[in-house]
């Protein structure tokens, strides 16, 4: 019995032949002709503190990049995104269309609506704090307070008093005389709870007529002894027709925007 010897493919043999050449070239390119590792240094600013005692540009950039990692959490908890996303999701559930519209569509629409509604607040934050600080007309601590003051006002204005009282008690914070002085550690969770409560109330009002329609369709099918026919087969086209006739998406979006204008 002869045992054959398996040969390497020519391409593999070529790569094995070039491997020593690559191992010889890489150190000379990376480490230089003398074999030393090249100097790599990145410096922004001369020191941690500038000559006038302020924080250098490098530390400011690092702080800014670190703060950007919390941007998604800030969007979810300090803007109207929560209410809009919950209401749109409950509308889809009430219609019974399962995954239509997709989650990406609902999230994108809620995000753009958030930017539209929060635009005046962000503009005021920029005009009151960011712009004067960049122009050198305001110190850092004062600019920080002026920047977040409109945000605090928005959060407190759209929070229920009972929720504010609850989280002031949980965080063991003193009850301020002026509501605009509520600390963020109490204002943010109170705002989120209030938004969820309002969103579920709106969602209930949206789902109620569709629930009545489902009950009517189910009663009619039962009275006709058509028990084997799923009610959703009949009710889904009727709900879609009703939703289109009343221009449901326009009505819901405009109503959501009006809740913030009135509030």
Q: How many residues does the chain have?
A: 263
For residue 7, count CB atoms less than 10 angstroms from its CB and return exposed for 0-12, middle for 13-18, buried for 19 or more.
Answer: exposed
The mean per-residue pLDDT over the stretch 199-226 comes to 86
Tell me the three state secondary structure of residue 49.
Answer: strand
pLDDT digits (tens, 9 = 90+) for 134-165: 777 877 778 778 888 888 888 888 888 888 88
Domain locations in the chain as residue ranges: 75-262
Q: What is the pLDDT of residue 194?
A: 92
CA 29, CA 21: separation in Å to the nearest integer? 12
165, two tokens: 């009282």
- Name the most confidently modeled range: 41-45, 157-161, 231-235: 157-161
Range from 25-29, 186-190, 203-207 carrying the lowest mean pLDDT: 25-29
Alpha-carbon distance values, 71 to 67, 80, 85, 213 (Å): 7, 14, 17, 42
Task: Please say if the pLDDT value at position 48 is more than 70.
Answer: no
Q: Is the dihedral of CA 238, 241, 244, 246 positive or negative?
A: negative
> 5 vs 232, which has greater pLDDT?
232
Q: What is the pLDDT of residue 197?
A: 93
Range from 61-70, 81-90, 121-130 carrying the lowest mean pLDDT: 61-70
CA 54, CA 44: separation in Å to the nearest integer? 15
Alpha-carbon distance values, 14 to 9, 25, 122, 152 (Å): 9, 17, 62, 68
Task: Please say if the pLDDT value at position 10 is more than 70.
Answer: no
The mean per-residue pLDDT over the stretch 108-112 comes to 90
Q: What is the pLDDT of residue 34?
A: 52
83, two tokens: 């209410």
Long-range contacts of 120-128, Cβ-Cβ distance < 8 Å, separation of 24 or more: 121/150, 121/151, 121/154, 124/150, 125/150, 125/151
Q: What is the pLDDT of residue 193?
A: 92
Q: What is the pLDDT of residue 54?
A: 55
CA 5, CA 122: separation in Å to the nearest integer? 74
Q: What is the pLDDT of residue 88?
A: 92
Selection from 227, 231, 250 nearest residue 239 by Cα: 231
Q: What is the pLDDT of residue 95?
A: 86
């Amino acid at each position: 019995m002869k045992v054959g010897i398996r040969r390497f493919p020519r391409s593999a043999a070529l790569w094995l032949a070039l491997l020593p050449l690559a191992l010889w070239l890489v150190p000379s390119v990376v480490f230089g002709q003398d074999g030393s590792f090249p100097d790599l240094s990145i410096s922004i600013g001369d020191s941690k503190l500038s000559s006038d005692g302020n924080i250098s540009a490098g530390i400011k950039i690092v702080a800014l990049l670190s703060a950007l990692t919390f941007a998604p959490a800030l969007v979810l908890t300090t803007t109207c995104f929560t209410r809009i996303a919950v209401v749109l999701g409950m509308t889809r559930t009430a219609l019974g269309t399962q995954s239509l519209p997709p989650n990406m569509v609902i999230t994108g629409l809620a995000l753009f609506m958030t930017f539209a509604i929060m635009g005046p607040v962000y503009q005021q934050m920029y005009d009151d704090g960011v712009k004067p600080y960049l122009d050198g007309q305001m110190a850092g601590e004062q600019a920080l307070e002026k920047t977040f003051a409109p945000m605090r006002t928005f959060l407190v204005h759209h929070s229920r008093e009972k929720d504010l009282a609850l989280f002031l008690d949980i965080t063991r914070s003193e009850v301020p005389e002026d509501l605009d002085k509520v600390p963020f550690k109490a204002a943010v969770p109170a705002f989120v709870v209030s938004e969820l409560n309002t969103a579920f109330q709106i969602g209930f009002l949206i789902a109620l007529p569709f629930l009545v329609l489902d009950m009517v369709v189910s009663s009619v099918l039962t009275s006709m002894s058509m028990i084997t026919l799923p009610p959703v087969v009949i009710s889904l086209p009727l709900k879609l027709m009703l939703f289109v006739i009343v221009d449901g998406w326009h009505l819901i979006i405009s109503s959501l925007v009006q809740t913030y204008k009135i509030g």
